[in-house]
């Protein structure tokens, strides 16, 4: 990562192809200054890496297909539904409530359907999102995880999915053995990016916040982690955006393979 | 409201025309039983009525027009942007942060634009949402507010907009004099539907939660109010949906005129 690419106007610099190429890492900037932070190999390794699951590791395409089908083929409504599901996961936490992510997903799918004149029953909505339990990993994931693991990192999944949900997801994706444990927000009954959830996860693993790094393809998750004092690696998958009003993570790369390169280069 | 219309399957009953006609009021159900709760005139009046502002009182059409224009005419992205703005208002609160609603609106508009290959600068994004300060009231609003006021109710605006924002909104809509005061989440630095915000608002007005009623055209706002122990009146404006996983408010009507009828019929 070269300082040439650092965009000082507070927003990501993008390559001509539209992929995020770099950002100003607020963490590194204060700790090492702009010269040293520009060389990933000189940064100290985090003591554990927490991986978000949905979209970060697993490819949501098959679920999007079944949800679009339930919406009468309206693929244009998929982003709205997924965003509404995330909104209501936080509505739930803000209201002191908790329901499984899948339950919120089905309820919000019915709301989006109804707003668009589509009659969708409760069981049809649940069936439409059921493929979330058997998603394949993105093509870069298995190799990327293997290389990070071989480099000696502690690796943990950390997801808004329920315990049963992420267990099935990891089993079906053949990734169970890659991780030392799985953390679900179900145990703390509050959704990411609530600050308490990151504090809880760090304590569960026995680490201080600044020793933890989150890998995620969601701007809101990276924002929450950095606000909680964690380090972050953002995977700029298609449709993913960093939140312009949050600090920038030290790693912004297109996929997990590129993230692995950066992590392996860090001094142990 | 007739008990014939009560849908016992936990979701709104809808008329053939698609407008919400009634619901099971969880508050009234436990307090009065199904026979008595069916007659609004027998319910006691709330001691104050808090009105959400955006969409509930004011018509967002002119802002949607300027936002769609900033998105290159992509009206199909408006719901996604508005939902993303609401999502990130809660991301911000979950992360212990606070930025004005307008600032979050502009930041999320840039995210939605970028995800759709539209280059939108910071000042253009801010200009696109500027019409939020000069929205007209919905056609039913002035008359409805006047009748509720004439019936002797205490009336307060309670909004996610900033103090300066809602002051300008009320002035430009010619509604300032309808309300005894304005409450903005800016003062508590946390967005609705966080429980603390409703508790704060009730205390500011000197009331217990169960003495307060929220009027809103947002399912998440009504959900938050009911979870906080308030009463609720949902305006089922086009595109508005109650949240299926929350208790149902005692009043579900198409607009403020119909809500006024119900409120005036309550015993003083």
For residue A147, what are its two tokens? 């290389």
- A contacts of B16 (beta carbons < 8 Å): none
For residue A240, what are its two tokens? 């993913």
Do B49 and B80 reside in the same domain of the chain?
no
State the Rg of chain B over Cα: 18
For residue B109, what are its two tokens? 């508009």
Q: Are strands A20-22 and B48-51 parallel, antiparallel or unpaired?
A: unpaired
Which of B120, B97, B96, B123 lies closest to B110 in space, CA to CA?
B120
Residue A221: domain span = 3-57+135-265
DSSP H stretches of helix in A71-162? 78-94, 101-115, 122-129, 141-150
| Surface of A (19-58) touching B: CB under 8 A | none
Q: Are strands B251-253 and A13-14 parallel, antiparallel or unpaired?
A: unpaired
Q: What is the pLDDT of residue B42?
A: 66
CATH number of residue A110's parent domain: 1.10.150.240
Which of B79, B227, B136, B157 lies closest to A77 in space, CA to CA?
B79
Q: Residue B190: enclosing H or E segment and its boundaries?
A: none
Is B60 in CB contact (< 8 Å) with chain A? no
Q: Are strands B20-22 and B13-14 parallel, antiparallel or unpaired?
A: antiparallel
From A32's Cα to the closest Cα of chain B, the distance in A is 25
Q: What is the pLDDT of residue B178?
A: 98
Check residue B188 and report its DSSP letter: T
Name the average pLDDT for chain B: 88
Do B69 and B109 reside in the same domain of the chain?
yes
- B contacts of A11 (beta carbons < 8 Å): 110, 122
Backbone torsion region of residue B17, taken as left when φ is above 0, otherwise alpha when ψ lies between -120 and 50, otherwise beta: alpha
Is B83 close to A88, i.e. CB distance below 8 A?
no
Do B226 and B139 reside in the same domain of the chain?
yes
Average pLDDT, integer, range B126-145: 97
- A contacts of B110 (beta carbons < 8 Å): 11, 244
Q: What is the pLDDT of residue A8?
A: 32
- B contacts of A76 (beta carbons < 8 Å): 76
Q: pLDDT tens digits for B152-169?
A: 999 999 999 999 999 999
Do A46 and A179 reside in the same domain of the chain?
yes
- B contacts of A122 (beta carbons < 8 Å): 11
Cβ A88 vs Cβ A199: under 8 Å: no
Q: Report the length, in residues, of chain B.
A: 268
In a domain, A178, yes or no: yes
| Residue found by looking up tokens 């393979």 in the block | A257
Q: Which of A95, A118, A134 is where one domain is finished?
A: A134
For residue B193, what are its two tokens? 């539907």
Is B228 in CB contact (< 8 Å) with chain A? yes
Cβ B56 vs Cβ B217: under 8 Å: yes
Do A22 and A109 reside in the same domain of the chain?
no
In a domain, A63, yes or no: no
Cβ A17 vs Cβ A182: under 8 Å: no
Alpha-carbon distance B178 to B187, whole Å? 21
- B contacts of A117 (beta carbons < 8 Å): 18
Is B95 close to A228, i.e. CB distance below 8 A?
yes
For residue A178, what are its two tokens? 């890659």
Q: How is A191-250 classified by DSSP, letter by letter?
A: -TT-HHHHHHHHHHHT--GGGEEEEES-HHHHHHHHHTT-EEEEE--TT----TTSPPPS
Alpha-carbon distance A84 to B105, whole Å? 16
Do B43 and B145 reside in the same domain of the chain?
yes
Average pLDDT, integer, range A96-106: 97
Do B184 and B228 reside in the same domain of the chain?
yes
Q: Which of A134, A159, A178 is where one domain is finished?
A: A134
Is B110 close to A11, i.e. CB distance below 8 A?
yes
Q: How is B192-224 classified by DSSP, letter by letter?
A: TT-HHHHHHHHHHHT--GGGEEEEES-HHHHHH
From A37's Cα to the closest Cα of chain B, the distance in A is 25
Q: What is the pLDDT of residue B268?
A: 87
Is B94 close to A246, i.e. CB distance below 8 A?
no
- B contacts of A92 (beta carbons < 8 Å): 245
- B contacts of A189 (beta carbons < 8 Å): none
In a domain, A219, yes or no: yes
Q: Which of A10, A17, A55, A95 to mutate to test the interface with B (most CBs of B within 10 A)?
A: A95
Q: Could you tell me the pLDDT band of residue A82, with boundaries at 50, 70 and 90? A: very high
Is B111 close to A219, i.e. CB distance below 8 A?
yes
> What's the ipTM?
0.86
Q: A20-24, A104-108, A244-248 — which is least confidently predicted?
A: A20-24
Residues in Cβ contact with A250 at an 8 Å cutoff, skipping those fewer than 6 apart: A25, A27, A28, A37, A40, A43, A231, A232, A233
A-to-B residue pairs, Cβ atoms closer than 8 angstroms? 120
Q: How many domains does chain A have?
A: 2
Q: What is the pLDDT of residue B13?
A: 34
Is A227 close to B76, i.e. CB distance below 8 A?
no
Do B207 and B85 reside in the same domain of the chain?
no
SS3 for A38? coil
Prediction pTM value: 0.86
Residue of A nearest to B98 (CA): A245
Q: pLDDT tens digits for B170-221?
A: 999 999 999 999 999 999 999 999 999 999 999 999 999 999 999 999 999 9
Cβ B268 vs Cβ B45: under 8 Å: yes
Q: What is the pLDDT of residue B19?
A: 36
Q: A63-67, A80-84, B41-45 — which is least confidently predicted?
A: B41-45
CATH number of residue A159's parent domain: 3.40.50.1000
Residue of B nearest to A244 (CA): B107
> Side-chain half-sphere of B118: how many Cα atoms within 13 Å?
20
Do B165 and B242 reside in the same domain of the chain?
yes
């Amino acid at each position: 990562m070269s300082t040439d690419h650092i965009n000082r106007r507070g927003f990501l610099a993008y390559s001509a192809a539209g992929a995020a190429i770099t950002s100003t890492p607020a963490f590194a900037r204060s700790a090492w200054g702009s010269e040293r932070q520009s060389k990933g190999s000189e940064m100290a390794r985090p003591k554990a890496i927490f991986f978000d699951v949905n979209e970060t590791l697993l490819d949501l395409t098959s679920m999007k297909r079944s949800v679009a089908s339930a919406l009468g083929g309206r693929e244009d409504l998929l982003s709205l539904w997924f965003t509404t599901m995330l909104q209501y996961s936080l509505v739930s936490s803000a209201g002191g409530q908790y329901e499984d992510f899948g339950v919120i997903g089905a309820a919000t799918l019915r709301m989006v359907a109804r707003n668009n004149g589509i009659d969708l029953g409760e069981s049809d909505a649940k069936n439409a999102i059921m493929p979330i339990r058997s998603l394949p990993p993105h093509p870069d994931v298995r190799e990327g995880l293997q290389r990070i693991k071989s480099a000696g990192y502690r690796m943990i999944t950390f997801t808004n999915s329920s315990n049963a949900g992420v267990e099935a997801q990891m089993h079906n994706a053949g990734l169970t053995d890659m991780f030392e444990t799985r953390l679900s927000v179900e145990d703390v009954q509050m959704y990411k990016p609530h600050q308490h959830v990151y504090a809880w996860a760090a304590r569960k693993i026995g680490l201080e916040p600044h020793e933890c790094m989150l890998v995620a393809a969601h701007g809101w998750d990276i924002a929450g982690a950095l606000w909680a004092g964690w380090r972050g690696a953002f995977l700029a998958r298609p449709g993913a955006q960093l939140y312009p009003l949050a600090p920038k993570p030290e790693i912004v790369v297109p996929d997990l393979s590129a993230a692995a390169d950066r992590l392996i280069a860090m001094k142990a």
